Amino acid sequence: MNLEAWLDDVRAEYLRRMTQGDNALLRQVEQYTASHSGKMLRPRMLLAAAATQGEACLHSRRTLLLAVCVEMLHNASLLHDDVIDHAASRRGQPSVNTRWNNAVAVLVGDYHLTQIMALLNEVDDRDITCKVNDTVRSMVEAELLQQQVGNCQLSSTNCLLKPANLTSELSTYLNIIDGKTANLFALAAEMGNPAYRDFGLHYGRLFQLRDDIADGDDTPWTAQLIEEEERAIKQLGNILNI
């Protein structure tokens, strides 16, 4: 199964929707970001899951629109994250907030959200719309939780989040990973084939854990969690015959 041709269709539809307006700055930013896009892992997962339901599902207009939707949601979060984190670069190039400014990055991220709403309106599936809304909410809540933890001195009496033990700290860490990363992978897999939601969730956790190690942000539990997620993915792969 070769998904690359379908991913090219996703890229083309994505760029068409983001550059169809009259705003020259928006087109300029989108063409800049499209020139160094990522691996499109989330739409790739959605397409791979859809393919398990047959060629008709994989090649449907609905699947194309949902793949564009998850990639737009991912990229909107990156634009906003780079502003929050004061990131100077993204994928080896100056980030949008560096190349232009914070306001442009936030507004282009917001414009992605308007296009996501248009896509969902076209798909016209209340259940899918609710799931996307839940995922966005979990992403925002996880980022707020990370900000709360990051700005908190655990020894302070004014700390809003004071885990009583390592188990509580681990739970907080997992809530952040799930909300910021794993839930979007789970959504992508589920929109392709509902049977694959758990696979997407564990894949997303593993992806973020490995990313934390690469960034030097690993915790005392990271290595153990990676083993657990790899085991879960293998077990689910056997069940799903992948």
Of 70, 101, 124, which marks where a domain is finished? 124
Number of domains present in the structure of the chain? 2
Q: Which domain holds residue 59?
A: 1-124
Are residue 43 and residue 91 in the same domain, yes or no?
A: yes
- DSSP-assigned letters across all residues of 113-127: HHHHHHHHHHHT-HH
Asked if residues 201 and 178 have their Cβ atoms less than 8 Å apart, the reply is yes
Same domain, 131 and 226: yes
pLDDT, averaged across the chain: 89
For residue 176, pLDDT over 70 is answered with: yes
Q: Give me the mean pLDDT over the 135-162 stretch.
A: 72
Is the same domain home to 145 and 222? Answer: yes
Residues in the chain: 242
Residues 131 and 102 grouped into a single domain: no
Strand ranges (E), the chain: 89-90, 93-94
Distance between alpha carbon 208 and the CA centroid of its chain, in Å?
10
Q: Are 69 and 170 part of one and the same domain?
A: no
Q: What is the CATH number of the domain that holds 88?
A: 1.10.600.10
Q: Identify whether residues 7 and 117 lie together within a single domain.
A: yes
Q: Are residues 150 and 210 in the same domain?
A: yes
Q: What's the token pair of residue 215?
A: 């960034």
Query: What would the pLDDT profile of 14-42 be if each residue is shown by its tens digit?
Result: 999 999 989 999 999 999 999 888 899 99
Q: Which of 193, 236, 69, 209 shows the shortest CA–CA distance to 136?
A: 69
Shared domain check, 189 and 117: no
- When pLDDT is cut at 50, 70 and 90, the band that residue 185 belongs to is very high
Residues 163 and 199 placed together within one structural domain of the fold: yes
Asked if residue 154 and residue 99 are part of one domain, the reply reads no
Beta-carbon contacts of residue 8 (< 8 Å; ≥ 6 apart): none
Report which of residues 216 and 9 the model is more confident about.
9
Lowest pLDDT segment from 18-32, 157-171, 192-206, 219-233: 157-171
Assess whether pLDDT exceeds 60 at residue 154: no
Among 82, 104, 124, the domain boundary falls at 124
For residue 23, the tally of other CB atoms under 10 A from its CB is: 13
Distance CA 147, CA 221 (A): 20
Domain co-membership, 90 together with 106 = yes
The reported pLDDT for the residue numbered 59 is 93
Cα 69 from Cα 72, distance rounded (Å) = 5
| Domain end marker among 101, 124, 147 | 124
Q: Helices 4-18 & 24-34, crossing angle to 10 degrees? A: 160
* Residues 57 and 162 occupy one common structural domain: no
CA distances (Å), origin 40, targets 4, 34, 76, 119, 150: 10, 11, 13, 18, 29
Nearest 5°: the CA angle 200, 44, 129 is 65
